[in-house]
Structure 1
Amino acid sequence: MPVVVCESVLQATMATGGNSGPGTTACVTKVALSISCNNLLDMDVFSKSDPLCLLSMNTSGPHWSEIGRTEKIMNSLNPSFSKTFVIDYYFEMVQKLKFEVYDIDNDMCSLQDADFLGEVECTLGQIVSSQKLTRPLVMKDKMPAGKGTITVSHFQFLEYMGIWVMCTCVPGECFLFCRYVLKKELTCPLLIYGFVQVVKYNLNPTWKQFRVSLQALCGGDVEKSIKVHTKIQSLNLVSFFSLQIVKEYTFLDYIMGGCQINFTIAIDFTGSNGDPKSPNSLHYISPHGYNEYLAAIWAVGNVIQDYDSDKMFPAFGFGAQVPPTWQVSHEFPINFNPSNPFCAGIEGVVTAYQQCLPQVKLYGPTNFSPIINHVAHFGRQAMQQETASQYFVLLIITDGVITDMDHTLQAIVNASRLPMSIIIVGVGGADFSAMEFLDGDDGILRAATGETAMRDIVQFVPFRQFQNAGTAALAQSVLAELPDQVASFFNLFDLKPPTEHSPS
């Protein structure tokens, strides 16, 4: 039974179906944050400030929850706090963080009585997508807190799932039995992902290859011995394992190593949306500045923008007659600048969309393949660099049935071999069965030529399914699969992060 030992820790899964094992908790990606400050305000008369940092988090609504506090450092305007904060990291969520720094005069001093030295708000996504995040501190009125700055460093923190592996045979079948134990400490005699695999009616079973983290297996020490217990009724047998060490990177390894997520937005301007001037149109913008297209752009864009360093996003429309020739186009820049289709931030995309609506004539048909091929072109260029420096995410927001299905299938099959994922959000109440087919979760996507997709890269959700849950739930649904798509693609082609990220 060969074992592939991987130098990464992914979510604990069963080798026979991808579900967590009996009595287990799936491993969660955790990020450890360390904090330092420089040039803090000096609030003490006869000595320097005694700073402490309070960390709070907000994932929805106006309320902040305290994560924890650092130790107090005496007489320092440039403190480096030794305490680290370990936070569960979710790519698909906007996790807002607030760092508040206080001068604590004595052990009995509460934060209400302490002198405020400044604060910073950011997202966890902004932190992990930076090698090191440094921001100026501001006061409660947003004025600068002198020359004070705060620096947040990060590294991936891993908790491991521990099991004892036993090979047991009973009349009629043999199986590998795994007992799971959650380990809080970082060392254990035997740590392994484990799986349950049944070989029926065979007293000489050979189990399939399975993967396990090298760190989890032996703490990264390849000199440690591995002990496996086997038992057939009362007879002990000897099992032989062959080991192959393979380096596998996680999503955060790539992001921390400098991989950029390039985000492109494509908007459906076909006639089935209705006249944008009519309140019944899906493109009608309410007095509150809302429609389903804008809500989808904000929901997905607010998460992804943290992973693109320049925050410049190309945005295109399809299915409209475009001035000045009024020819139908399926990949026109909504800012009408073909040489520079980029919009500054999600706010820029929203502004360009609002300005574009009255200048085009909604028409048809609904063709996806041109914009998919457009983004795929840049994916092919990125592959020539032979490094995991760029990954492309295409968000398509549409109201209707695809009219170029064969071409779209071929475009997706081709894109499945590139560093690219496609998110489709269906707005309105149309029949979206074709979109669900493209999602590929229920089977292998196949082009008309018979060529199959290398991997599943499409995620589809109908917007109205999340009307009551809110746009944050929409973003979580469409983006949950993206980290695994990024990491699995680059590992499949043995592409390494642009730079190796080491713990700070």
Structure 2
Amino acid sequence: KICKMISESVYLILLFICIGFSKMNIVFGRTEVIENTLNPDFVRKFVLDYFFEEKQNLRFDVYNVDSRSSNISKHSFLGQTFCTLGEIIGSAGARLERTLSGIPGKKCGNIIFTAEELSNCRDIATMQLCANKLDKKDFFGKSDPFLVFYRSNEDGTFTICHKTEVIKNTLNPVWQSFTIPVRALCNGDYDRLIQPFYFLFLSHDFIGEFTTSYRELSRGQSQFNVYEVLNPKKKGRKKKYVNSGTVTLLSFKVESEYTFVDFIRGGNFQQNFICVFVCIVGNPAQPTSLHYMSPYQMNAYAMALKAVGEIIQDYDSDKLFPAYGFGAKIPPDGNVSHAFPLNSDCENANCVGIEGVLEAYYECLRTVQLYGPTNFAPVINQVADSAADVLDGSQYFVLLMITDGVISDMVQTKEAVVNASSLPMSIIIVGVGPAEFDGEYGVHSTLMIYTFILGK
């Protein structure tokens, strides 16, 4: 939380952590963007591992967001502060207030940190709410309401945990359903107080509030989940005041969020190997090619496949790996394919063990003609479709992509990665050869960039 900032604007905070003996600061995460307020209260939390025996140095930088660019140098620096994680946790009520500095001769405001130990609760709640007959706030129209959820802390204070979208020009808003971890709502304490507030957009005028708990919300749509929205100031000065509207819970659903270990313990951990071979420097018969089949040593692709495959194959029970290639013309018609089985068996692409994948790869090089472009998106989408069919925690998919650094469909690839981010699958991209791998770093940072720009 930031108090008394320089001017009413658009704010963003970056968290840096200091690592190693070199004292190098790296970006750990960034908050969402808060608009049109001098006292932004950020929803996004930073989850850090706390080590009592270590001094964990933190740096917080505050920026005014001047554009939609994800490049932080394009925005205005407003101040920074330094502290340790131990200082926050060791403060009274785990609440620490610091003064921002960094701009000579200017008061940059204050920043407030709060910390809480997370519970092991991994449930995810999805809910939708609507309101009816809210107070009219706009002089020329109705209202532009949004809803902010606060959860109570152990010291009696409240911390923001969710904010809905704004619904323009209505007194009867129906907000989109949203998903939130249960531990963000109540940290596993089902009776912990949750206090939603209604605000008017732009001026952030207060409409009213009500209180509930996770236990009450979990009852779902019922007479118990229709709440009166009350404005304490109006209630105190108006004898005939009834309420400032009502809010109704339309739906509530709880699902468990499975971890990587949960999938492994399920006994059906499945590896999906996608071998990417793109001939940029010649054909496999030429020594300059990354696919060159030397009689004396493995080529770069084979070494990468063997090195990574031998590590992750231990998590597979049957050691049968579907292996594909793409970026090649396939006999007998010479059609270009971006997902063909290395063993040439369209009915069963499984190879027995890593050695079986290597054998299929070598044999494939003798029969297909390497051909661009290198499109990653179709392969990611193919595995994502399989993962989307198994959401009960019984299977986990690993997509291994080996590339020489060129991605032809970068926009589509980033979109595919974002769409697959909620599925039980991981994507491992291994680069081989001397090429620059800027594209792969772009894919790696896609989720953070999309979160910053689009708010996904």
TM-score range, shorter chain: 0.3 to 0.5
TM-score by length of 1: 0.43
TM-score (norm 2): 0.47
Which structure is higher in RCO with an 8 Å CA cutoff and minimum separation 6? 1
